[in-house]
Amino acid sequence: MCGSYWSITIHTGGCGCRGDRHIMKRRENKKPLNSSNNNISLTPVRPTASSSEFESWSGQGLYPADDSRVILERETEEESDFINASYISGYAPGSPKFIASQGPTAATIDDFWLMIWQQKTSSVVMVTNVVEERKHKCDQYWPDDTSTELRYGDITVSMVSADEWADYMVRMLKVEKDGEVRTVKQYHYTSWPDHGVPDSMSPFIFFYKRVKIETAKTTTPIVVHCSAGVGRTGTFIAMNNLLEQAKVEERVNFHQCVKKMRTCRPSMVQTEDQYVFLHQVVSEYLITKEFFCSPSAFAQQTG
């Protein structure tokens, strides 16, 4: 088998916050992510869309593949339907579980909210800060406080609440269009370092666990974004899909997971450091799973 996988033996014991214990055996071929012999494409695919709108979304030369890109519904043919976002499946077959998106900029923020509205998205995962090491990563697309409303095209966004934790924030946003009101919950991980990957697995695992628990019944795509919408975004989505695979198959295949995502959106899990981190965080999650609470216990702890 190309790449690597983990074979997992599961011993069940206890209940509640001390659930399954995972003992893992690792087999791997140590081939780098960017190796020419691992069949993971690194070439960006430029979609057929062509307009000033496309150029405003083109980011760092990273484009969605045509057959998986999100298409905006427009009122006129003169308006571009392009947005730099891709449908990404979860582990289980069916409707796309995620949308991997470039972070919005001043020129694209209206389209970003239009996508959220049209996709009926109720959860957004943000894995970047607005500014990192004096570099602008994406535009802030939410109000600073509960007394402010912001308008993006014909969509109005206001803050309902904001809860700050050590490594992330959870914001509840009210979104209104044409008299219809919806709620969007944003999970914002704030502790990814400016360069490289997190040194500690636990904060990211806890963040993932909260997102996973609170979006368990979500039936519409979860929007995940960083800056370009491929590196950290891909790492988060891959982590989810690999853990779902582990639950069903008792083994995970990192190579196939990333390769599959890259057929939908090139460069997902962008760097070798992120690929190594993906191995580490998935293994850490499975090894320490017994220390993470069940949904009911988590709800009791967080009120």
Contacts of 120 (CB under 8 A, 6+ apart): 182, 220
Task: Tell me if residue 201 falls in helix, strand or coil.
Answer: coil
Check which CATH number belongs to the domain holding 37 and give it: 3.90.190.10
3-state helix, strand, coil in the chain (%, to 5): 30, 25, 45
Q: What's the domain range around 54?
A: 4-302
> What's residue 303's pLDDT?
52
Q: In this predicted structure, which of 50-54, 117-121, 152-156 has the lowest mean pLDDT?
A: 50-54
Per residue in 163-176, pLDDT tens? Answer: 999 999 999 999 99
> What's residue 17's pLDDT?
30
Structure tokens of 29? Answer: 């071929």
Report residue 63's pLDDT band, with 50, 70 and 90 as the boundaries.
confident
Inform me whether the pLDDT recorded for 207 exceeds 80.
Answer: yes
Structure tokens of 278? Answer: 């993906």
Inform me whether the pLDDT recorded for 177 exceeds 50.
Answer: yes
User: For 98, how many CA atoms within 13 A lie in the half-sphere containing its CB?
Assistant: 28
Task: Compare 39 and 249 and report the one with higher pLDDT.
Answer: 249
Inform me whether the pLDDT recorded for 28 exceeds 70.
Answer: no
Report residue 77's pLDDT band, with 50, 70 and 90 as the boundaries.
confident
Per residue in 258-296, pLDDT tens? Answer: 999 999 999 999 999 999 999 999 999 998 875 455 555
**Mean of pLDDT values over 33-45:** 44
- In the chain, count H helices and then E strands: 7, 14
Report residue 13's pLDDT band, with 50, 70 and 90 as the boundaries.
very low
Inform me whether the pLDDT recorded for 197 exceeds 60.
Answer: yes
**Mean of pLDDT values over 132-152:** 96
Report residue 42's pLDDT band, with 50, 70 and 90 as the boundaries.
very low
Q: In this predicted structure, which of 57-71, 109-123, 256-270 has the lowest mean pLDDT?
A: 57-71
Rg of the chain in Å (alpha carbons): 19
Residues 292 and 287: their CA atoms lie apart, in Å, by 11
Residues 90 and 245: their CA atoms lie apart, in Å, by 10
Report residue 22's pLDDT band, with 50, 70 and 90 as the boundaries.
very low
Residues 223 and 211: their CA atoms lie apart, in Å, by 12
Report residue 297's pLDDT band, with 50, 70 and 90 as the boundaries.
low
Ranges of beta strands (E only) in 178-230 are 180-189, 222-225
Considering the chain, what percentage of its residues have pLDDT values greater than 70?
75
> What's residue 26's pLDDT?
45
CB 255 within 8 A of CB 2: yes
> What's residue 203's pLDDT?
96
Report residue 60's pLDDT band, with 50, 70 and 90 as the boundaries.
low
Q: What is the pTM of this model?
A: 0.83
Domains identified in the chain, total number:
1
Average pLDDT taken over every residue of the chain: 83
CA-wise closest residue to 281 among 234, 249, 248 = 234
Q: Is 69 exposed, middle or buried (0-12, 13-18, 19+ CB in 10 A)?
A: buried
> What's residue 193's pLDDT?
87
Task: Compare 144 and 295 and report the one with higher pLDDT.
Answer: 144
